[in-house]
Amino acid sequence: MPKRKPQPGYDTSVPALGEAAHGNPLAYCRFVSDASRVRIELTGEEVSGLPEDGTLALDFEIAGPRQKLFFAPAKTKCAIVTCGGLCPGINDVIRSIVMEAFHTYDVAACIGIRFGLQGFIHKYGHDVVDLTPSAVRDIHEFGGTILGSSRGPQAPDEIVDALERMNVGVLFVIGGDGTMKAASAIQDEVASRGLSVSVIGIPKTIDNDINFLTRSFGFDTAVEQATAAIRSAHTEAEGARNGIGMVKLMGRHSGFIAAQSVLALKEVNFVLIPEYPFELAGENGLLASLENRLRSRGHAVVVVAEGAGQHLLDRMTERDASGNLKLGDICGLLRREMGAYLTERGLEPTIKFIDPSYIVRSVPANANDRVYCGFLGQHAVHAAMAGKTGMVVARVQDRYVHLPFHLVTSARKKLNIGSGYWRAVLESTGQQHLGPRPEACDM
């Protein structure tokens, strides 16, 4: 595959607040030098906008404890805020940050900001909470976030005003693409005032659509929960004449949960994702393919990502609190069209619709995600205490690295429907191409 040289937009350097002059209290580990870099070759599976046959090799700053610290731990106050929708593992990240900050660095205090960025703004009246090791001891056993969350922008200058009033030296921001953009704006405001405040992001998205991240935390748990819903849909479909089990999964812009769930459970016959502009009518459309499936096997399972098929609906203009266009009801359209089409052809269907979205996103993290969240929290604290700022901690392929905000907010990661991964999904379902056939791709 042809390689692309790094371009200015792919600058991987991470800002720092200043000279690190304090000794690190860790005495049992190998420290990581700021000069330590790891070269990682990325493909279109991880970076949005690359050509299908292209790769991008970049040098990333390695995550881990530094020998010298910028902040004096005994004088440092940390704050944690969680924003956006729920995702398995948020409490695990909060717990990891608090435990690392207190037990490893013995910081002066750690506070939690209630209900997202609203918690910084006085008019909302949200109190902060003290986050101590005893307060977070068992929170990893529960889903959601103990701090609460909210959507929607807040003025960066008001947020930084609040940070100054509370004498916060380190702000940990847990959230998705929009939240990381907000964190970047907060860091810009901090820098414009010449303040010594570190802003560290921990990317969170159940959809796995953050650019440059191989896999976001909570995704593994979400797939595990989604497969339980798909298994139920398959049972329902088999239990009825011309039974159709339809499962709606999360995936506003990217179909990673749907695709991975299909690979994990082989009972799915059709999978529809936002990146795949399928056709509904016509000889090779979804309806005709579904008819053939029912005539040959008597039942079918259809998995639909929430953002799929929007081209078949009236264009929505209303936006949610995060500024995203509200999605049309693709599953409602599919159920109506399937019912009318199949009944007209003497195959009156029994359609059982399952939407497990709130269950999928609100459960506690599984073992794999708990381990991942633990590392993210620890590396976030190491980076902050060393004076890093304007960055996120992330696992890219098998390495934990520092990424500047501009990389992860540059674009949303999309599932490459010309890739070997999508081909494997189609092979798992036996689904024929229901729309424009993508170009073949060597992956």
Block residue for tokens 């902050």: 384
pLDDT of the residue at 442: 43
What is the residue-level pLDDT of the chain in tens, covering all 443 positions? 334 444 446 899 999 999 999 999 987 778 999 998 999 999 888 888 776 667 899 999 999 999 999 999 999 999 999 999 999 999 999 999 999 999 999 999 999 999 999 999 999 999 999 999 999 999 999 999 999 999 888 999 999 999 999 999 999 999 999 999 999 999 999 999 999 999 999 999 999 999 999 999 999 999 999 999 999 999 999 999 999 999 999 999 999 999 999 999 999 999 999 999 999 999 989 999 999 999 999 999 999 999 999 999 987 657 666 666 789 999 999 999 999 999 999 999 999 999 999 999 999 999 999 999 999 999 999 999 999 999 999 999 999 999 999 999 988 999 988 888 999 999 999 998 886 555 544 43
Query: Does 54 reside within a domain?
Result: yes
Q: Is residue 87 located within the same domain as residue 163?
A: yes
Q: Is residue 161 located within the same domain as residue 187?
A: yes
Q: Is residue 267 located within the same domain as residue 168?
A: no
Q: Is residue 180 located within the same domain as residue 323?
A: no
Query: Does 161 reside within a domain?
Result: yes
Q: How many residues does the chain have?
A: 443
What CATH code is carried by the domain that includes residue 185? 3.40.50.450
pTM for the structure as a whole: 0.93
Query: Does 436 reside within a domain?
Result: no
What CATH code is carried by the domain that includes residue 309? 3.40.50.460
Q: Is residue 321 located within the same domain as residue 390?
A: no
Q: Is residue 62 located within the same domain as residue 191?
A: yes
Q: Is residue 26 located within the same domain as residue 163?
A: yes
Query: Does 61 reside within a domain?
Result: yes
Q: Is residue 150 located within the same domain as residue 290?
A: no
Residue 286, both tokens: 């979804």
Among candidate residues 235, 46, 239, 67, the one with its CA nearest the CA of residue 247: 235
Q: Is residue 28 located within the same domain as residue 85?
A: yes
Among candidate residues 55, 75, 71, 154, the one with its CA nearest the CA of residue 113: 154
Residues 259-288 as b or e (16 or more Cβ within 10 Å = b)? bbbbbebebbbbbbbbbbbbbbeeeebbbb
Q: Is residue 401 located within the same domain as residue 422?
A: no
Q: Is residue 138 located within the same domain as residue 250?
A: no
DSSP 8-state secondary structure symbol assigned to residue 390: S
Active-site positions read 207
Residue 352, both tokens: 């059982």
Which residues constitute the domain of residue 135?
A: 3-216+365-408
Residue 58, both tokens: 């970049």
Q: Is residue 333 located within the same domain as residue 282?
A: yes
Query: Does 442 reside within a domain?
Result: no
Query: Does 413 reside within a domain?
Result: no
Query: How many whole angstroms separate alpha carbon 413 and alpha carbon 254?
Result: 7
Query: How many whole angstroms separate alpha carbon 84 and alpha carbon 343?
Result: 42
Residue 226 burial (10 A CB sphere; 0-12, 13-18, 19+) = buried
Block residue for tokens 């359609």: 351
Residue 38 · residue 401 · CB < 8 Å: yes
Q: How many domains does the chain have?
A: 2
In this structure, the dihedral spanned by the alpha carbons of residues 413, 415, 418 and 424, taken in order and rounded to 10 degrees, is 150
Query: Does 440 reside within a domain?
Result: no
pLDDT of the residue at 2: 37
